[in-house]
Every structure is written in C-alpha cells, then in structure tokens.
Chains A and B, each alone.
Chain A
Amino acid sequence: MSDFRTLVEVASALDAGTISSVELTRDVLSAIADAKSLNAFITVVDERALAQARVADDRRAKGLAAAVTGIPIAYKDIFCTRGVRTTCGSRMLANFVPPYDATVVERFDAAGAVMVGKTNMDEFAMGSSNETSYFGPVHNPHDPNRVPGGSSGGSAAAVAAGLVFAAMGTDTGGSIRQPAAFTGVSGLKPTYGRISRYGMVAFASSLDQGGPIARSVRDLEVLFGVAAGFDPRDSTSAELAVDPARHKPIDALRIGLPKEYFAALGDRRVAASLDTARRWFEEAGATVIDVSLPNTDVAIPTYYVVASAEASTNLSRYDGVRYGHRCEAPQDLEDLYLRSRSQGFGREVKRRILTGTYTLSIGYFDAYYLKAQRVRRLIRDEFVRTFADVDVLLTPTTPGVAFPIGAVSDPIEMYQQDVFTVGASLAGLPAMSIPCGWVDGLPVGMQLIGPHFGESLLFTAGDAFQRATDWHTRRPGRKP
C-alpha cells in the first residue's frame, strides 16, 4: 500500500509508537514490489532494509532516535553504497559493487535512516527524461506514458508514487529540480559544496551537487540538516558551518522575478500557475519586484560546454582495467580501452564525451572551454548582484509539464528542458522546485533560487507557501 504521509508526519507516528520501523519498512517494500511497472528502482535491498529497521526500532526504544531514524528512504544509483551494487544507470557499472559508502549515505546511516534501494536514473546523470538509463525508462506516476524528468527520475517517481518518504538525488544542471517539477514533489539543489560529493559518481565536478527529494519543504529541511556539512574527503566541500535558523519571516522577504525567465516561458498555463504563486507571495506580505538577468540566453550553451568538458575528463577513468565493464578477448591495450568504453557507454554519454573532447582539444580550448568559463563568471556575478536587492528569485522550473516518453528525440531540443535550471547550477546557488499548479492532470513546478548558502530563505518561502496551499499534497490518480 502506498503511503503519502510526509517524512515529518511519519517520524511523529514512529515517535508515538503507532507504527514501528520494521512495519513501515515492510509496507514500503511491498509498495515498491507492487509498483515495479514504474521502473523507479534499479536495486531493492529487502533484507538489508529490514535489518536496518530492526536496529532503528531498538535505537528508538533506547530514546536515541534522530529525526530520520527508522524512516525508509532511497538513494539515486549514483551514490556509492558499500556492498550494494551502484550502476549509475550504465552498462559500464552494471556489476559495480563499491567497497565504501558515500558521505551522504554514511550520514543517513549514522542518523538511523533505512535504505530500501537504489533508484533509476539517466546514464551517468546525463539526461532530462530518464530515457537514457541502461535499465530502461522510468514512468511518471501521474501518467505512465510520460517521463518523470531526469536525471533523478527514479528518485522523484518513487517519492511521488508513495514508495518512499524521501530519496536523495543529484543535480548538475537541473537533475533534482526538473524531475521534482514533473512529478509534483519538492526537490532541493543546495549551494555547490554544501553536501559532500565524496562517493557520488562524478559527472561534472564543478557543478555536481547532491540534494533531497521529498513531499514537503519541511521534509527537505530535515533531510538537508542530515546531509549537509563540511567533509574533508571532498576537496570542494564548503567549510562554512550549516546554520539551521530561519532568519526572515515571509512578510520581510523580497522576491525577484527575472524578466528573461518569464519572457522565455512559452506555455501560458504554466505562466498562469506561476502568476497565482506570485500573487500569493504578495498577499502574504512579501515584496515582489521585477529583476533582470541579461545573460540568461547564453546559460544553456555555457552549461553544455562546461559540463561536457568535465564529463569527458571524469569519464576517462573507465578503462576496463580496475573496475567496470571490460570487453571480451581484447587484442591489445588500445582495443581493450576502446571496445570496453564503446560497449559500456550509451549514446548520450558518448555524445557528451565527444563534445567535451572537441571543446578541450588544441585549437578550440580558448574559443569554447575558456570562453564558457568567462561567460560563467558573468552569469554568476549578475546573480550575486541581483541578490543585493532581493532575498530569493521566483521562476518557472521547466518550460512545460512532463512530456510523453519518446516525444523528444532530438538531443538539442532535450537540452532546452534545462533553460530555467542551469543558471543556478553555473552560479553554484541553492535552488528548490515545489509544486504550484496543475495543467492537463500534470503538476507544474516553481523554482525558488537563493543566494549562496541561503537555503534557509528557500525553506522560509517554500514552507510558507505549502502551509497555505495544497499543491504538494496532490497524489497520482487523484485529479483536482
């Protein structure tokens, strides 16, 4: 049976003793088994989960429970889990069983959370629809013929379908926010460096950031509290301490609407949902003003140059020697590298590796990679300047609602999905997507972007909105 309580609600039930973690975990595992057709999970770990749940129940009985103790959660299959296969959605890592845990996994383990499995994703997190997974596409719980978004599509679909109370995802150019929008759940990409990248399979290291997907902003805040913090094992981990306090009430918030984002939004019904949200913030006492981010139109090309270059470098480690896929009967070392990589990587991954190889090669490095890094600074600086005048930015998360599986076959068209999310990624800013409307029976997401390390401002704005509205409580099969 699917369970649509929020993580905070189910934690209260565990505290009150109305349900045990073992009972809860059994229900969750049974719901996952019943929802196999969604293809949200690559690996489910029944026995391991029940063992963790028993430990969690003991811990609670001793009065040592933390906020997430005993709560079943899932990890995108990009987080290394000791002894549990971690595929990154690729044939390359189809049999990879890590010898260590990602820091994120260690932190949730230490807090007593129960891992029920690893969620499906676009191969090496490259995709906006979850269609590039070696393990097949994930289906959107609101309409199985549509995509759940990507690349954290399995994580978002699992939360939206009531299969887990939360799932960890990763976001390089929108991979938490876009699937959260497409499936009607809440997702947070924290400030770059806020959550450790140690044990997260690398895609584009100057952009990759882990973050939670859940059913409410309050839940995101709790999960962020567990996952965030300095980690000496990640060389780009932020040393600034996490400040859990919310410093501003909603009626003191200054909210900016970047005019370039709204000008680029073609779907009028999505625009109408955003407009309703804007009016709600005004009525709640926030000051809403128009702002301008003139380099928005070059964010996508800048992002794809930087991300592909970093991907081609990061993915050079897959050589068929130390771990990962190895071809049969290689004739020589070159043949071993070439055929192992050619068989192990899918089409989108190869496309990005070739693009990155091109922009990093002699004669093109200055014109593309260095140029993109310069434009990236302009984009970052104009966000930083804007945050002198506003506390958060309110934008659409996606250009439209979830599209049918197979509808977007052109890669360049697929990249346009990221038009509203890559800006915050390039600038390293925290950004959150929460549901704010409904079009054709499908959820619409709004994005809130904050200044560096300003996650608490996003929690203030998002939580106030969710306390007054019910978009985040709408479930698959229950149309408005």
Chain B
Amino acid sequence: MTILEKDIDKLCALARLGLDADERSAARTDLERMIAMADAIAAVDTSGVVPLAHPLDATARLRADEVTEAVDRDAFQALAPLTHDGLYLVPRVIE
C-alpha cells in the first residue's frame, strides 16, 4: 500500500491534525509500514466469524431514565481555556 501526500492531507483533515515538516516526512513512511504490518491479518480465514467489540461479549447496560448527576457548570467551566457569562468561547462561526 503506497500512501500519497494527498492521503496524508485527507487523514490530517479528518483528524484535525497538522504536522510539522519533520512529522510529515515521517508520517508517510510510518503509515505505510503500519498498514503493511496490519495487512498480516488479511491472511486469516475469518469467514463466518462475528466481529468482537467487547472481550466478554457484554452489551450496554441500561439504567433507569432518571437524573443522577447535577451539572456544576461553574466547576466544569473553571477548566475551560476561555468562557464568558457561562458560555464557552470559540472564534465566530456565523458572520
């Protein structure tokens, strides 16, 4: 599998990641080698095998539809880089 510059561009856009020049030159080779390593699984016969998402095949546990935790907005927003009047601030999206 050859990874092209445009593949890296697309992945970076999907993952919202930017790479510096050093990281970028390594990224193609690293990803090609990661994928080459991953390709080993293609040879395993998995016909009829159901994908395993949870090692004990457990399914999501349901709980009663009741409020169990109060949201302490002040405490949570104390962690935020930028807030104003109880709102998280981001650059303007709609002009």
Contact = CB atoms under 8 A, between A and B. Distances in A.
Task: Answer whether A and B are interacting partners.
Answer: yes
Q: How large is the interface on B (under 10, 10 to 19, 20 to 34, 35 or more residues)?
A: 35 or more
Interface in A217-238: 232, 235-236, 238
Interface string B24-67: 00110011011101111110101001111111101011010000
Contacts of B79: 96-97, 99, 322-323
B70 interface: no
Interface in B58-84: 58, 60-61, 63, 72, 75-76, 78-82
A377 B26 CA distance: 33
Contacts of B35: 355, 358, 368
B23 interface: yes
- Secondary structure at the B interface, as helix, strand, loop or mixed, is loop
A324 B31 CA distance: 27
B17 A193 contact: no
Given A301-B41, A305-B38, A238 B56 contact: yes
Interface in A320-337: 320-326, 330-337
B21 interface: no
B91 A357 contact: no
Contacts of B16: 316, 319, 334, 337-338, 341
A361 B46 contact: no
B30 to A, nearest CB: 6
B51 A345 contact: no
A300 B39 CA distance: 11
A333 B52 contact: no
Interface string A300-320: 111011001000100010011
Contacts of B42: 367, 371
A124 B34 CA distance: 19
Interface centre among B10, B18, B56, B91 (most CB of A within 10 A): B56
A312 B81 CA distance: 23
B51 A377 contact: yes
B14 A341 contact: no
B19 interface: yes
Given A354-B15, A354-B17, A357-B15, A301 B55 contact: no
Given A99-B79, A304-B38, A353-B15, A333 B53 contact: no
Contacts of B55: 192, 206, 376, 380, 426-429
A318 to B, nearest CB: 9
A371 B41 contact: yes
Interface centre among B8, B14, B33, B92 (most CB of A within 10 A): B14
Given A323-B80, A358-B35, A378-B44, A342 B19 contact: yes
A351 interface: yes
Contacts of A302: 41
A301 B40 contact: yes
A359 interface: yes
A146 B93 CA distance: 49
B49 A358 contact: no
B46 A357 contact: no
Interface centre among B14, B31, B34 (most CB of A within 10 A): B34
B52 A235 contact: no
Contacts of B54: 192, 206, 236, 428
Interface centre among B15, B54, B78, B92 (most CB of A within 10 A): B15
Contacts of B58: 193, 236, 238
A308 B38 CA distance: 11
B46 A375 contact: yes
A332 B76 contact: no
A295 B44 contact: yes
A305 B51 CA distance: 13
Given A326-B81, A330-B91, A373 B15 contact: no
A374 interface: yes
A58 interface: no
Contacts of B26: 347
B56 A358 contact: no
Contacts of A331: 91
Nearest to B55: A428
Contact of B18 (A300, A316, A338, A372): A338
Given A323-B79, A358-B7, A378-B49, 6 more contacts: A336-B91, A345-B17, A347-B23, A357-B15, A359-B38, A411-B34
18 contacts: A193-B56, A330-B90, A330-B91, A335-B91, A336-B90, A337-B16, A341-B16, A350-B27, A351-B31, A351-B34, A353-B17, A354-B31, A358-B11, A359-B38, A361-B10, A367-B42, A375-B46, A428-B55
